[in-house]
Amino acid sequence: MDAKELARLISYAIITHDDCPRKPSKAFRKWDGRTPYGIHPVWCAMTLLHEYALLEELRIAGAQALLFHDIFEDTTADLPEGTDERVRELVEGMTFESSDEEMEKVWERSPEIRLIKLYDKVSNCYDDVWMTPEKRERYRTYTRKLADDVEANYGSLTIVKFARAL
C-alpha cells in the first residue's frame, strides 16, 4: 500500500461517514457532535500500522479493515470498489448487531478479529465521556479481556499497553 492508496482509503472512510450516515449522529463523534466520525477509524488504522511487531501483511489488511469497520453498521454505503476479499472478510468479522452481541460472540471469531477489535475498543475508551459510568466500566472490562487475549496470541504489543493504561 503506497501513500496515494492510503490517502484514498482514509478519504473514503471519512467521506462515507459524512455523506452516507444511517442517521445524522453517525457522521460525528458522540462526545462533542462536531468532530467528524472518520477520526475514529483513522486513529485505529494508523495505530495498527505502527505496530511493527506484527507482520506487514496483517498490519496492512488490518488497517484497511479498521478504516472500514463501521461502514456496514453506521452508513448506507458499501466498501470501496476493489476492496481485497481478505479485508472484506475482516470487516464482516468485526460487524455485529449490537455491542452486547459483540461482547458475547467476539470470542468465537478469529484471533485476528479480536486483535483489530482491540484497536477499535481502545479508541472508544479514549473518547468515552459520552458513556454512563456503568457503560464505561463495561467497555473497559471488555477491552481488558481483549487485551489479555491479544497478548496471549500476539505478545506484548503497544495496543495492549494502551488498553491496560485505561
**Sign of CA pseudo-dihedral 103, 108, 113, 115:** positive
Tell me which DSSP letter residue 117 carries.
H
**pLDDT reported for residue 82:** 93
Residue 125 has pLDDT above 80, yes or no: yes
Residue 29 has pLDDT above 70, yes or no: no
Domain boundary assignment for the chain: 3-165
**pLDDT reported for residue 57:** 97
Q: Is 40 helix (H, G, I), strand (E, B) or coil?
A: helix
Residue 32 has pLDDT above 80, yes or no: no
Residue type, 117: K
- Which fold would CATH assign to domain 3-165? Hypothetical protein af1432 (1.10.3210)
Q: What's the whole-model pTM score?
A: 0.93
Residue 137 has pLDDT above 70, yes or no: yes
What are the backbone dihedrals phi and psi of residue 21, each rounded to the nearest 5 degrees, phi first? -65, 145
Mean pLDDT of 40-50: 96
Confidence of residue 123 (pLDDT cuts 50, 70, 90): very high
Tell me which DSSP letter residue 23 carries.
S
pLDDT of 72-122, one tens digit each?
888 899 999 999 999 999 999 999 999 999 999 999 999 999 999 999 999
DSSP labels, 139-154:
HHHHHHHHHHHHHHHH
Instruction: Report the candidate in 123, 127, 74, 64 with the shortest Cα–Cα distance to residue 98.
Output: 74
CA dihedral 62, 67, 72, 73 (to 10 degrees): 100
Give CB contacts under 8 A, 24+ apart, made by 142-149: 142/103, 143/118, 146/106, 146/114, 146/117, 146/118, 146/121, 147/118, 149/107, 149/111, 149/114
Q: From start to end of the chain, where are the E strands? A: none
Instruction: Report the candidate in 59, 58, 69, 52 with the shortest Cα–Cα distance to residue 120.
Output: 69
- Look-up of cell digits 484497511: 64
